[in-house]
Amino acid sequence: DGGDKTGEEKDGEHKTDSKTDNGKGANNLVMLDYETSSNGQPAGTLDNVLEFVTGHEGNSRKNSSNGGNPYDIDHKKTISSAIINHAFLQNTVMKNCNYKRKRRERDWDCNTKKDVCIPDRRYQLCMKELTNLVNNTDTNFHSDITFRKLYLKRKLIYDAAVEGDLLLKLNNYRYNKDFCKDIRWSLGDFGDIIMGTDMEGIGYSKVVENNLRSIFGTGEKAQQHRKQRWNESKAQIWTAMMYSVKKRLKGNFIWICKINVAVNIEPQIYRWIREWGRDYVKELPTEVQKLKEKCDGKINQWITRKKNQWDVLSNKFISVKNAEKVQTAGIVTPYDILKQELDEFNEVAFENEINKRDGAYIELCVCSVEEAKKNTQEVVTNVDNAAKSQATNSNPISQP
């Protein structure tokens, strides 16, 4: 499957002409539940994807709003399957892909990886099939490289389709710009996983990375090959992510999410800064309103967290840009990313907000002063009342 070619694009839509390097050989090595067409590609892949998506609804997905670890999924499940008469055993697999937590239900995680903050969306990325990839190093899985890569691509298509379906549900089935951004960022994270440049690198991601190394090997040449494979297949993965939208809207479907934007490769830290910026501007008005309505001092805790997150992400941007010698038009500093991503972004205003120099923080200080005065007055009143009570109790009781 080495020769995927993306054809002409029109209004965000695209055509593909996909052929395998060794189609006949691939046809003879088909997996259990896949059908193939004459050119070695899965026949009716998207129909199978829809069946896969709907088959995993209901009880098979658990609500993931609670739980301790970032994934909220059982970490171990032992399975044994026969594929083309070759048995394999994979010990650590993702059992299912859960419904997404609400946006900003969990804050960015800056503690697990000290040099970067990880978005909760990345922790929830659907990797069920990728964790189930056969570890070719430790098993008798067929050694044909064309077969291995075709198998990987099919697994990735399924995970991408489920991810798109879950993101659409998270967005209350609204097909809008917020949904398109989620699709773009999750697609980009799939790309970093395949290319070996993912910054998360914990939990199931380690399992997936080991599986990918068993296919591509290690070293600089393998890294280049992984990047090439992603470039060849990313348009089809994007199509899989959009499948639920197309199926749901049918004749009313129009292309809002643009493929040329979605498949554009930029460093993961750049995308995460974009995503962080969206979260920040969504949360800020709510926090300020709490302050105005209730004189809620929690905005101090919130802005402190955001300041720490921004510092970590900014430093990571600088280190990645310098180490990889990234040259992106219009992006010299992390502020430039926010300028691109956020409408009417003002760097000075943002700096004042994040460093507690803006009107909201001044209002918080006023609140604190007023609260201090109120508390002081209560103390004075309590002392006066106590003194009066003590004076009354100390008066001698007159005897009749």
Domains in the chain with CATH codes: 5-262 (1.20.1310.20), 268-362 (1.20.58.830)
Q: Pick from 61-75, 89-103, 244-258, 308-322 the range whose average pLDDT is largest.
A: 308-322
- Find the mean pLDDT for residues 356-384: 58
Tens-place pLDDT, residues 159-218: 999 999 999 999 999 999 999 999 999 999 999 999 999 999 999 999 999 999 988 999
Predicted pLDDT of residue 399: 45
Tens of pLDDT, residues 104-151: 899 999 999 989 999 999 999 999 999 988 644 445 555 677 788 888
* 3-class SS string, the chain: CCCCEEEEEECCEEEEECCCCCHHHHHCCCCCCCCECCCCCECCHHHHHHHHHHHCCHHHCCCCCCCCCCCCCCCCCCEEEEECCEEEEECCCCCCCCCCCCCCCCCCECCCCCCCCECHHHHCCCCHHHHCCCCCCCCCCCCCHHHHHHHHHHHHHHHHHHHHHHHHHHCCCCCCHHHHHHHHHHHHHHHHHHHCCCCCCCCHHHHHHHHHHHHHCCCHHHHHHHHHHHHHHHHHHHHHHCHHHHHHHHHHCCCCCCHHHHCCCCCHHHHHHHHHHHHHHHHHHHHHHHHHHHCCCHHHHHHHHHHHHHHHHHHHHHHHHHHHCCCECCECCHHHHHHHHCCCCCHHHHHHHHCCCCHHHHHHHHHHHHHHHHHHHHHHHHHHHHHHHHHHHHCCCCCC
pLDDT of 322-368, one tens digit each? 998 888 888 999 999 999 999 999 999 999 989 877 666 666 656 65
Query: How much is the mean pLDDT over the chain?
Result: 73
pLDDT at residue 58 above 70?
no
